[in-house]
Amino acid sequence: MGDNKDEVKLIKLRSTSNEMELNMMKAILDDNHIPYIMKNHGAGGHMRIIGGSSFFGTDLMIEEGDYEIANGLLESIRIE
């Protein structure tokens, strides 16, 4: 498994339960062409499908190699 060159290591960039903050972070990542995966906590994935949002919290996961750039972008607008 360690020899697979196509293997991607995901790390958590930020965790939030605030929908507005989540949407801002997603927009910044999208604008800078940084791919991400949203990992919902608990039943949050189901709530997001049914209701469009979740109060359980969401982790934004990115590729390890993109962390420094993505973190710098979010810190520049004071999302910690």
In a domain, 1, yes or no: no
pLDDT in tens, 8-37: 899 999 999 888 889 999 999 999 999 999
Separation CA 80–CA 72 (nearest Å) = 10
Quick: pLDDT tens for 35-73.
999 988 765 554 555 556 666 788 999 999 999 999 999
Domain interval for residue 67:
10-76
In the numeric block, the tokens 């919902």 are attached to 40
- Does 4 fall in a domain? no
Contacts 24+ apart (CB under 8 A), 1-4: none
Report if pTM > 0.95.
no
Q: How far apart are CA 53 and CA 20, in angstroms?
A: 10
Can you give the CATH number for the domain in which 33 is found?
3.30.70.790
Answer with the residue of higher pLDDT: 27 or 77. Answer: 27
- Bridge partners (DSSP) of residue 60 are 14, 38
